[in-house]
Amino acid sequence: MNTEILVVGVPWNLHELATVVRDAEALGLRVHVADTEEALAKVDASVRCARVPVAEPTVEAVSAAAAALAPHTVVSVTERQLVLAAQVRERLGLPGTSSAAELRVRDKYLMRQALREAGLTGVGFTECPVTELPAALAGLRLPVVVKPRSLAGSIAVHRVDGPDDLAVVRDYYLDGSPLRDSVLIEEFIPGREISFEGLAVDGRLFRFAVTDKVNTGAPNYFEVGHLMPALLDDGTVARIESHVQDVVKALGIETAPIHAELKIAGDRLELVEIHTRFGGGNIVRLLEETYGIEPFRAYLGALVGHPAPSPGPASETWGVGFFTVDIGATAAWPDFGFPHPEAVVSIDYDTRRTPKLETIDGVRMQRWRCGHAMFRAADAEAVHANIRFLYETFPGRR
């Protein structure tokens, strides 16, 4: 068996790449990473991957590098290069999720269209340039949520209750931003937010976990913490899994990590968005700690024919809370007087940190995370209380 795996793009979280390399080595696979010299220079020398420099991360450049390598497959673990990795696979005649399917996943408007055609959403939606938002509101039930079609991490996500809220939304998009020309407007989805973590193998879904989410609420719904496992009964978990399986089929996802964010309101389930990557914000670590699952090892193993792992029962709740800072605010030393100090596992915080970016693709970021705290307890409420305390008392908000 060919043991070479080409990874397209250095991920935002460099620790994630080290985890991919570690898990590949455990399977007898060797990782090659294709990106620009500048991006590759950020990878620590201790990460045992081969560097494949390209002038620009384009289909032609990466395909030429991949052809010389003749890898078993081509993948990406960064959101921004999943479509490119699929295009390179197609150029080389390698199996995997198509670039058209990856584009449907990345573009939230195309995703909503596919869900509507499959009868999997009851959410009204449309798209328009930022300058035409007032007219677009006329055909939808308020409130609505306006968001970029292709970003993640709640960047420029904003709830709009009426025309007076639109000035804030317009201000998110800088002149010249390519994302100004078409934004998604969708009717607000009420309910509790959760996420589904799993793996699709040849279109069949395997569940790893369901995660409870804690966010800031309106208007931006920025995630400030996760708890695993979610406090849900087995019947609800089964309904969620069945729904996500239907979404995977509708979007044409073959073999890929699955991170799906959903809202639950009574019997209603609505997908908010889905990604063919594992969730960020320490979701991978939560899976490792809560269930003993190494997600990247499972994904890479599936690519070479290994069966997907099945999680056992969770004996305790694990969680992560983020030190969340508004862009432009100062990150000061916080109060560590957690209501449940016995549930604190570790704290990663440094007042010298600054945001890597304040804009992306010409869109203003509203918040960033300058650190995190990990929690675990037999009582899920202790973990949840610590996460809420961290958000409510952290001096990084304006």
36, 82: one domain: yes
Residue 396 is which amino acid?
Answer: G
How far, in Å, are 145, 170, 186, 271 from residue 165 at the CA level?
11, 9, 15, 25
pLDDT score at 34: 98
> Is 41 within the bounds of a domain?
yes
**Shared domain check, 82 and 8:** yes
User: Do 63 and 136 belong together in one domain?
Assistant: no
87 and 16 share a domain? yes
Write 169-173 long-range contacts (CB < 8 A, 24+). 169/130, 169/133, 170/130, 170/131, 170/133, 171/364, 172/363, 172/364, 172/366, 173/130, 173/362, 173/363, 173/364
Phi-psi group of 299: left, alpha or beta (phi > 0 → left; psi -120 to 50 → alpha; rest → beta): alpha
- What's residue 197's pLDDT? 98
Say whether both 90 and 167 belong to one domain.
Answer: no
Cα separation, 256 vs 237, whole angstroms: 21
The dihedral sign for the CA sequence 180, 186, 190, 192: negative
Sheet (strand 192-201) strand order: 268-275, 256-265, 192-201, 204-215, 223-228, 317-326, 367-377, 344-349
Say whether both 88 and 155 belong to one domain.
no
pLDDT in tens, the chain (398 residues): 679 999 999 998 899 999 999 999 999 999 999 999 999 999 999 999 999 999 999 999 999 999 999 999 999 999 999 999 999 999 999 999 999 999 999 999 999 999 999 999 999 999 999 999 999 988 899 999 999 999 998 999 999 999 999 999 999 999 999 999 999 999 999 999 999 999 999 999 999 999 999 999 999 999 999 999 999 999 999 999 999 999 999 999 999 999 999 999 999 999 999 999 999 999 999 999 999 999 999 999 999 999 999 998 998 999 999 999 999 888 888 888 999 999 999 999 988 899 989 999 999 999 999 999 999 999 999 999 999 998 888 876 65
CA-based R_g, the chain, Å? 21
In a domain, 240, yes or no: no
Spatial contact of 326 and 216, defined as CB atoms under 8 Å apart = no
What are the tens digits of pLDDT across the range 307-338?
Answer: 999 998 998 999 999 999 999 888 888 888 99
What are the residues whose beta carbons fall under 8 Å from the beta carbon of 241, sequence distance 6 or more? Answer: 196, 198, 205, 207
Strand, coil or helix: 298? helix
Domain's final residue, options 80, 95, 110 = 95
Same domain, 15 and 70: yes
Three-state SS for 201? Answer: strand
CATH code where residue 12 lies:
3.40.50.20
CA 258 to chain centre: 9
Of the three residues 77, 95, 113, the one that is the final residue of a domain is 95
Domain count, the chain: 2
Q: Is residue 207 part of a domain?
A: no
**What pLDDT is stored for residue 396 in this prediction?**
66
Indicate whether this model's pTM tops 0.75: yes
Residues 332, 337, 338, 340, Cα dihedral to 10°: 160
At 190 the pLDDT is: 95
Q: Are residues 128 and 91 in the same domain?
A: no
Amino acid identity for residue 67 in this structure: A
Using CA of residue 209, residue 214, residue 217, residue 222, what is the dihedral sign? Answer: negative
**Domain membership flag for residue 78:** yes
Last residue of a domain, one of 141, 161, 187: 187
pLDDT, residue 100, reads: 98
Instruction: State the maximum Cα–Cα separation within the chain, in Å, rounded to a whole number.
Output: 60
Residues constituting the chain? 398
* pLDDT value for 280: 93
Tokens of 198: 């799993």
User: Do 88 and 153 sit in the same domain of this protein?
Assistant: no
Q: What is the pLDDT of residue 291?
A: 97
Q: Could you tell me the residue range of the domain that residue 70 belongs to?
A: 4-95
Helix ranges, the chain (H) = 14-26, 37-40, 59-69, 82-92, 99-106, 108-117, 133-137, 166-172, 234-251, 283-291, 295-303, 380-393
How high is the pLDDT of residue 397? 62
